Structure 1
Amino acid sequence: MTRLTVALSGDCMATRGALITSDPAAEELRELLHAADFAFTNLEVVPAGRGYPVHNAAGGGGLIADPPVIDEITAAGFTVLGCANNHALDLGVEGLLGTVELLREKRIPFAGIGADLTAARRPVYVDRPGGSLALISCSSTFLPGQEAAAPSPDLPGRPGLNPLRHSAMLDVTAAQMAVLKEIDAETGLRARRAEARTLLGFDPALFPPDRLGLFGTRFRVADEPGFTTDCDRTDLDEISRWVGEARLRADLVVVSVHSHEPGPTPETPGEFLRTFAHRMIDEGADVVVGHGPHFLRGMELHRNKPIFYSLGNIVSQIDLADRIPAEDYAKVAADGPLTPGRYFDELSGHGRRLFAPHRRYWQSLVPVLTFDDGALVEARLHPVDLGFGEPVHRRGRPRLAGPADAKEILTDFARLAEPYGTTVTVDSTGAGELAIESGNSTVG
């Protein structure tokens, strides 16, 4: 029998050192990560030391660190990295290629970025004495042009990340559509598309007739108003193809997806993400691990395979970054020149806004999954505390949560998982467990 364990985590935004502190609870977390055959995290920082800052509206500012943070991340126990996220190109293509070179030099397995689309899409394979794992990493949140592109017969491909594009559609009634078309006509927007109509032979905003593209939004006539999102079919099929490839070549297949986009509430994922996650499991993935919104979302078991829609953060040292683009400095009004520390202090309203005052941002989980011959037999959920309310230079480094915080985190996660039919219980050690179907019985 092949028994393999996988530890999972969310966003790792490390910008300083000693990610594992002298706190015994932090050391327990390190031991847990080191004990797993594979320990995954999402590298959401550019550690390249080269490149030029990119205006990053999708990420809300640059997230840049020096190369030694990679040594801190591996010392903490992480052994395989997902790199596709909205900060992967904060230093442009040069920074991304620098990240690729740095991780290769250090022989750290990673996926999700590369010199062209195929390189970004490919799985990375991690071999251990007991078995192998394949990781595919993708992102639905990024700026246009940050997605990797394939070469043509005339030009090389574009370096970038593995994209999971999606589209949004607003359903409106026929009466509401009539009002929108009236606005389009009477404001002069339709007249300004005259050249496009001449060149294309049709109005691109009114094609097909029951749909309308206006204000950068797509509208569709339906019986009831609503809003939904859909996966880009090409991306869905291409990522699926690589999952099928990985299924042939590894004992376990993990798909990492970075997605900030919400569903009907901030706690629920966009509709497209659930479609994507189910397709990945159907194509052969053993786990889908999500991250991006910086707090926990729910999870479900699809075909008895776990889908975590967001595991929140495992390290958050954003406020300790020392590499601030000029455009970010310019967003903050202050008397006199800003230093990095002053910039973040002013940006957060001295701790009164953004992430600092929100307890849920500083709470997360590390699931440790056990597979026997590829079948999930145990899933233990370890609550993690990142130091809510502590000084900026102390918070953001992970430790296993104490009893009160652990209960709060697990209770909240159980609530988030319940709509998906997932049961979370708490054992005597303070860790959570998932109820997993094993044959005709349930094990914890």
Structure 2
Amino acid sequence: MGNQSHEERMHRGGRTEGYDVAGSIETNVADGFTLVAVGDLIVSRPLTKNNQPGFGAIVDLLRGADVTFGNMETNIFDIRCFKGSPQAEYGGAYHVSLPELGPDLKAMGFNIVSYANNHTYDWGYEGMRETCRALDQNGIVYAGVGENLAQAGAARFLETPRGRVALVSFASTFTPMSRACNPAGEAPGRPGLNALRLAKSIVVTPEMLENLRKIRAYLPNSSHDSEVPDRVVVSGVTYKSGEKVGYSYEANPADVTHIVRNLRQGKQFADFCIATNHGHEPGNWSQEPADYERALAHRLIDAGADAYVTHGPHQLRGIEVYKGRPIFYSVGNFIMDDLRTPVGADMFDAYGKDPRTHTDAEVTAAEMSTGYTSDPGFKDPVFYESIITVSRFEQNHLVELRLYPIELGHSKRFANRGVPNLAPLPLAKSILERLQKLSKPFGTEITIDNGVGVIRP
């Protein structure tokens, strides 16, 4: 592939390179192009050299693709010389890994990652910059963060023999102070992540809404200036009328415009484009995506994305194929080897621990078992059951999507838990049957072939 002539590259996959009617460059990868997409990389140490049983088969899958993608949900630095500090705002836990993780991720096969998530700023902009430096030093392309919003939102590029790949990364779940901004007048820009802000509402029945309206009328200093028939705001919380009680989200139009523009530009400079979102909404407890996300995924694919990948909820959600492009509404966890140390003082306080008598491991165990604030924690084995997705493209369209079930050792002792292995057949069947059920509302049919899920659009 590396020795293709200009003419061959111009006609890869049987299509001529050029602009489509929307002004975006068409997908233009060579036949046989493969994308591996996995979920959260919550890892605190190198894994390829410690002879974890079964991990070699996982690495073989990762190394076999043209593009191997995951969500970088930790920070990389040496605490002995680190100049930053744990932040008062953090993503539920202080994620940190040893500098050896950089070359180890490369050795696993990862060549492109997202880095916009709720843990980007656990250790402030210093931690973010150290992590970016570690990824750069090891030739791993990353997107979603930068010294200002323009950099954080920009597409980043990976060169492969079968085509140039763009990645646009954003996060709908993030700590407020981690959001990047551009310069304005004399004010400089702010380093951080590419954020997709969401306006959250609680959906209630019409009868409930009327009762809330009555409650608001009795509250002091309540304003009715902007009365809307189907919604009411009580103490800053928006309630709106609907048939089913639950949560609803509206994506910030300016953020969506910014993301679409960067995705279009990314595709114009690449042969293949990945859009990726880190979002926990409506919560880690939910096996269904938030109500805004399907329309957003379709819009991004319409704008030129060749795959849409969500990570964050820590468990699997359904898969859709839209216009010959895969949409993963959550690829779950890939590594949860969370032997994190050090732990900030705020986290000791959050779990009622005393750093003079309790250990970092005891704080981590408390967080994993009880969760942070409204999070249910990670007691349920469902958080330790996931997949490796392998998408193969011919004629620039998805022709086969293979799903390899993995398990992360829920029942293992703390020091060995969280490292992926291919799931044994009975568990693999259970994981895939759950994924069949979750994908059915999207019109997706998954067949099971000897413990591997297969989608053939």
- Alpha-carbon deviation of 1:411? 1.2
In terms of mean alpha carbon deviation, does 341-350 or 99-108 score higher?
A: 341-350
- Alpha-carbon deviation of 1:373? 4.0
Query: 1:382 aligns to what?
Result: 404
Question: How well do the aligned residues superpose, as a CA RMSD in angstroms?
Answer: 2.5
Query: 2:331 aligns to what?
Result: 311
Count of residue pairs the alignment pairs up: 419
Query: 2:146 aligns to what?
Result: 114
The 8 Å contact of residues 123 and 246 in structure 1, kept in 2 or not, is answered as: yes
Query: 2:346 aligns to what?
Result: 327
1:261 aligns with 2:294: no
1:396 aligns with 2:428: no
1:32 aligns with 2:61: yes
The 8 Å contact of residues 36 and 391 in structure 2, kept in 1 or not, is answered as: yes
Query: 2:133 aligns to what?
Result: 101
Letter of the aligned partner of 1:27 in structure 2? Answer: G
The 8 Å contact of residues 114 and 161 in structure 1, kept in 2 or not, is answered as: yes
1:125-140 alignment runs, 5 A limit? 125-140=157-172
Letter of the aligned partner of 2:454 in structure 1? Answer: E
Instruction: Report SS of the residue matched to 2:365.
Output: helix
In terms of mean alpha carbon deviation, does 165-174 or 154-163 score higher?
A: 165-174
Letter of the aligned partner of 2:379 in structure 1? Answer: P
Query: 2:453 aligns to what?
Result: 432
- Alpha-carbon deviation of 1:171? 4.9
Instruction: Report SS of the residue matched to 2:34.
Output: strand
1:34-433 alignment runs, 5 A limit? 34-49=63-78, 50=82, 51-56=84-89, 59-171=91-203, 176-190=208-222, 203=223, 206-210=225-229, 211-220=231-240, 227-262=247-282, 266-318=286-338, 320-334=339-353, 337-348=357-368, 355-428=377-450, 430-433=451-454
- CA, structure 1 residues 379+223, in 2 after alignment: closer, same or farther (shift >3 Å)? closer
Deviations 1:165-212 (A, max 9, x none): 11123455666555434323423142xxxxxxxxxxxx5x64244443
Q: Give, in whole Å, the separation in 2 of the partners of 1:418 and 1:395.
A: 31
- CA, structure 1 residues 118+182, in 2 after alignment: closer, same or farther (shift >3 Å)? same
Q: Give, in whole Å, the separation in 2 of the partners of 1:53 and 1:140.
A: 22
Q: Give, in whole Å, the separation in 1 of the partners of 2:45 and 2:198.
A: 34
- CA, structure 1 residues 72+355, in 2 after alignment: closer, same or farther (shift >3 Å)? farther
- CA, structure 1 residues 67+267, in 2 after alignment: closer, same or farther (shift >3 Å)? same
- Alpha-carbon deviation of 1:361? 0.8
The 8 Å contact of residues 110 and 140 in structure 2, kept in 1 or not, is answered as: no
Query: 1:8 aligns to what?
Result: 37
Letter of the aligned partner of 1:390 in structure 2? Answer: K
- Alpha-carbon deviation of 1:290? 0.8
The 8 Å contact of residues 89 and 177 in structure 2, kept in 1 or not, is answered as: no
In terms of mean alpha carbon deviation, does 156-165 or 99-108 score higher?
A: 99-108
In terms of mean alpha carbon deviation, does 331-340 or 119-128 score higher?
A: 331-340
- CA, structure 1 residues 98+254, in 2 after alignment: closer, same or farther (shift >3 Å)? same
Instruction: Report SS of the residue matched to 1:152.
Output: coil
Q: Give, in whole Å, the separation in 1 of the partners of 2:439 and 2:169.
A: 23
- Alpha-carbon deviation of 1:134? 0.7
Instruction: Report SS of the residue matched to 1:71.
Output: helix
Q: TM-score, normalised by structure 1?
A: 0.87
Q: Give, in whole Å, the separation in 1 of the partners of 2:256 and 2:108.
A: 33
- Alpha-carbon deviation of 1:383? 1.0
The 8 Å contact of residues 315 and 383 in structure 2, kept in 1 or not, is answered as: yes
Letter of the aligned partner of 1:6 in structure 2? Answer: L
Instruction: Report SS of the residue matched to 1:9.
Output: strand
Q: Give, in whole Å, the separation in 1 of the partners of 2:308 and 2:36.
A: 13
Letter of the aligned partner of 1:40 in structure 2? Answer: F
- Alpha-carbon deviation of 1:216? 2.5
Deviations 1:418-438 (A, max 9, x none): 11110011123x2111131xx
Q: Give, in whole Å, the separation in 1 of the partners of 2:238 and 2:147.
A: 33
Q: Which runs of 5+ in 1 are unaligned?
A: 191-202, 437-444
Letter of the aligned partner of 2:172 in structure 1? Answer: S
Q: Which runs of 5+ in 2 are unaligned?
A: 1-12, 14-29
The 8 Å contact of residues 19 and 397 in structure 1, kept in 2 or not, is answered as: no
The 8 Å contact of residues 100 and 114 in structure 1, kept in 2 or not, is answered as: no
Q: Give, in whole Å, the separation in 2 of the partners of 1:342 and 1:231.
A: 38
Q: Give, in whole Å, the separation in 2 of the partners of 1:418 and 1:21.
A: 40
Q: TM-score, normalised by structure 2?
A: 0.85
Deviations 1:397-444 (A, max 9, x none): 11222212211111111111111110011123x2111131xxxxxxxx
Query: 2:21 aligns to what?
Result: none
Deviations 1:297-327 (A, max 9, x none): 1111111211101111111022x11110001
